[in-house]
Amino acid sequence: PADALFILGDLFEVWIGDDAALQPGFEADCGELLRSTAERLPVFLMHGNRDFMVGPAFAAHCGITLLDDPTVLSLHGERWLLSHGDILCLEDTDYLAFRAQVRTPEWQAAFLARPLEERRALARSMREQSEARKQTPEMLWADVDTSAARGWLQRSRAKTLVHGHTHRPAQHDLGDGWQRIVLSDWDAAAHPPRAQVLCLSPAGPQRVDLR
């Protein structure tokens, strides 16, 4: 059994505000599942590019802890640097500009002031635009910048960066004893389904398929 659960972003396809979980439906059901999980072990959640609007009210209701990006985890005598990973994709300049805009308190306050259904419609539109961008040639190779990743590791005094976002599960040697571990995305509807976790134990990191 695990001692703790770390979710490094994009637990939800979209999150339009904590008040969405106050109504019966998918968001409320997810909240109850998180709450029941948090009663058994500590649960930590980092914002991703899809669910960056998850707020302290929902976290408190579920009994989970929101993490900064990046976060250093000290475990088994090692320092692990945890990140969603999107901010390190330096070639994706359009997305980084969008990210900077939507992470401001002013943008988020204006978004949350809209009616719930209007927020749902806007989120669907942004999601469709995001999916369309993924098919463009420049997005097919946009990835974490190696120099930036090395800089993060050096400043944090960690040896391993663990992140998601790119959906390209792999383990990269960055030189000088540093490495980058990329998590898989989850998709139960894929063929075959994808549901993989990374276990950090005294023996080292190990990928486990939960399919």
State yes or no: pLDDT of 106 exceeds 70: yes
List the one residue out of 5, 34, 4 whose CA is nearest residue 18. Answer: 34
State yes or no: pLDDT of 59 exceeds 90: yes
Q: What does the pLDDT read at residue 121?
A: 96
DSSP structural state of residue 194: B
Q: What does the pLDDT read at residue 129?
A: 85
pTM of the predicted model as reported, rounded to 2 decimal places: 0.94
Read off the pLDDT of residues 137-155 as tens digits, 9 standing for 90 and up.
665 567 999 999 999 999 9
Label the pairing between strands 43-46 and 65-67: parallel
> Which helix (DSSP H) or strand (DSSP E) does residue 111 occupy?
helix 105-112
Residue 16 pLDDT grade (very low, low, confident, very high; cuts 50, 70, 90): very high
Give the count of alpha carbons within 13 A of 143, CB side only.
Answer: 12
Q: What does the pLDDT read at residue 133?
A: 74
Distances (CA, A) of 54 to 3, 73, 106, 137, 165: 24, 22, 16, 31, 17
Using DSSP's 3-state secondary structure scheme, residue 54 falls into coil
Q: What does the pLDDT read at residue 141?
A: 61
Q: What is the mean pLDDT of residues 189-206?
A: 93
Residue 188 pLDDT grade (very low, low, confident, very high; cuts 50, 70, 90): confident
Read off the pLDDT of residues 42-55 as tens digits, 9 standing for 90 and up.
999 999 999 999 99
Read off the pLDDT of residues 107-132 as tens digits, 9 standing for 90 and up.
999 999 999 999 999 999 988 887 77
State yes or no: pLDDT of 203 exceeds 80: yes
Read off the pLDDT of residues 148-177 as tens digits, 9 standing for 90 and up.
999 999 999 999 999 999 999 999 999 999
Using DSSP's 3-state secondary structure scheme, residue 116 falls into helix
Residue 1 pLDDT grade (very low, low, confident, very high; cuts 50, 70, 90): confident
Q: State the Cα–Cα distance between residues 1 and 24, nearest whole angstrom.
A: 31
Q: State the Cα–Cα distance between residues 160 and 25, nearest whole angstrom.
A: 38
- Tokens 């088994």, residue located: 76
Tell me the domains of the chain and their CATH numbers. 69-91+143-211 (3.60.21.10)
